[in-house]
Amino acid sequence: MHRTHRIRLHAAWKRAACDSADDVKAAVGDTCDPALSGDAATESVSLPDGSLADCSDRFVTYSRRFNRPSGLEESTAVWLVSGLLGLADDVRLNGVPLAPSADAERVEIRTHLLPHNELRVKVARDQFAAASRATAYLEIADGPATDESSS
């Protein structure tokens, strides 16, 4: 039996409006639209982000920085678990595209972790209502990564 624990990724998210699906690839700093700069282009939010349901932008990008969890061993699995994953047009950790598991709400990220990490999740307007209820956390298990729920 695997022992697991969770690290909530509740606060400290930045939400930026995007005009097109390609804006994320051209992201500069904390902004999604390269024509915008500074805090005027982003909004600090927590998940779940209830205000997203009323947002009129075509796309938004959530970004969240976090440090690599300490004490990870070679056999430790680290999963990103979030309702945003199945709703997103694009999910990247440190610039690397992530492919969620079959249930679309988790992805193994241990091999992509750096000492300092940045997660970016791009969501289109047609998913805002569902995305506004999403949460996110890291699930850490003391065993090899599997695609089975270990909660």
pLDDT digits (tens, 9 = 90+) for 34-73: 344 344 468 899 999 999 998 889 999 999 999 999 999 9
* Overall residue count recorded for the chain in this entry: 151
The 3-state DSSP class for residue 21 equals coil
Residue 151 domain-assigned (yes or no): no
Q: Is 150 part of any domain?
A: no
pLDDT tens digits for range 84-141: 999 999 999 999 999 876 678 999 999 999 999 999 999 999 999 999 999 999 999 9
Q: Which domain holds residue 72?
A: 4-141
CATH number at residue 33: 2.60.120.260
Cβ neighbourhood burial of 116 (10 Å; 0-12, 13-18, 19+): exposed
Please give the C-alpha separations between residue 95 and each of 6, 49, 74, 123, in angstroms, as whole numbers: 23, 23, 23, 16
In a domain, residue 105? The reply is yes
Rounded to 5 degrees, what angle do the CA atoms 128, 129, 130 make? 95
pTM value is 0.80
Q: How many domains does the chain have?
A: 1
